[in-house]
Amino acid sequence: MFKIFVASLLHEAVGVSCIVCSSVREESVKSFSGSVASIGSKGDCWRQPKAANFRSEECALGCYSLYYAMQIEDTDKGKIEKRVVERGCQFDIDGEAGVRFRFPSDGTCAGMCKVALREKNYGNYGTINAIFDTSSSATGNSYPYGSLEWSAAGPLRCHQCSTHGRVESSADISCLRPEGSGSTCPSVNATSCYETTALFNVTDEFGEKNEYAFAERGCSSAKSNSLTDSIFSKSHELFNDTERELTTHFCNGNGCNSAFPEEVLDLDSSASSLNNFGMLSAFILLQNAL
């Protein structure tokens, strides 16, 4: 989920006071429900929240409330039903080709309106069918369980594992040769999978070369329009004998990060422009479930 963004106020603009809150209800079920059930109590974030119970912001672009419900087939937890509400300030997003658009919607909304949440406007994988309103009242509306439909798209599934250091390349370790479609990413905002791998030789004290491998795989927030980019990083501890380059690849399909480690080169023999290993943190997202 994108964090609830608060639009920047122009000094001369007159803002609207909006309640800022969010809540998530996640339940394990034996079988999926046919309809979205009622939730919350009056005065909480789900139902007409009281201004005294939550912080508020002055919003130049107006208020919004967003509601959605998901049915998830989680590879570890089984069937999950998740309901979400978030309230805050409408904000502008820089889209493709520099075109800005309003979130939740550029159009006017009288009452409850539908919006399709996708990567470009919400940062999620697939499509979530949501409902929103732009009420500027002090309390906002209640969760529209009567008209809300379950969404079944996502989250993405990726292989999520690590060899935790170098291992013999022939080792029978599933992370070197993962199979299947992976496991469910903990966040709907995982939009891609990543894999950082290496295959290399290390010469021991007797002059014998031994082949080792390394793999780390998981979920990422890297956007689909940047998946052609790779991140190069340095590692000395992993290779022990010298610094060599590691490459992190991104992809955006279920279980797509399953390639066997690729051979890496000594830094001295590589013409690549390398960046610091810390760059990974700007792209790789292993976040807790919302």
DSSP for 13-49 reads PPPEEEE-EEEEEEEE-SS--SSPPP---BTSSSBS-
Position with higher pLDDT, 162 vs 120 = 162
**Average pLDDT value for the chain:** 78
Contact 93, 56 (CB under 8 A): no
Q: With b meaning 16 or more CB within 10 Å and e meaning fewer, what string describes 141-163?
A: bbbbbeebebbebbbbbbbbbeb
Mean per-residue pLDDT, 165-170: 90
Q: What is residue 138's predicted lDDT score, i.e. its pLDDT?
A: 55
Instruction: Please report, rounded to a whole number, the percentage of residues in the chain having pLDDT higher than 70.
Output: 74
Position with higher pLDDT, 107 vs 230 = 107
Contact 91, 61 (CB under 8 A): yes
Mean per-residue pLDDT, 70-97: 87
Position with higher pLDDT, 111 vs 11 = 111
Q: What is residue 11's predicted lDDT score, i.e. its pLDDT?
A: 36
Q: Write down the number of H helices and E strands in the chain.
A: 1, 18
Position with higher pLDDT, 65 vs 51 = 65
Instruction: Please report, rounded to a whole number, the percentage of residues in the chain having pLDDT higher than 90.
Output: 30
What pTM, to 2 d.p., does this model score? 0.70
Mean per-residue pLDDT, 38-45: 87
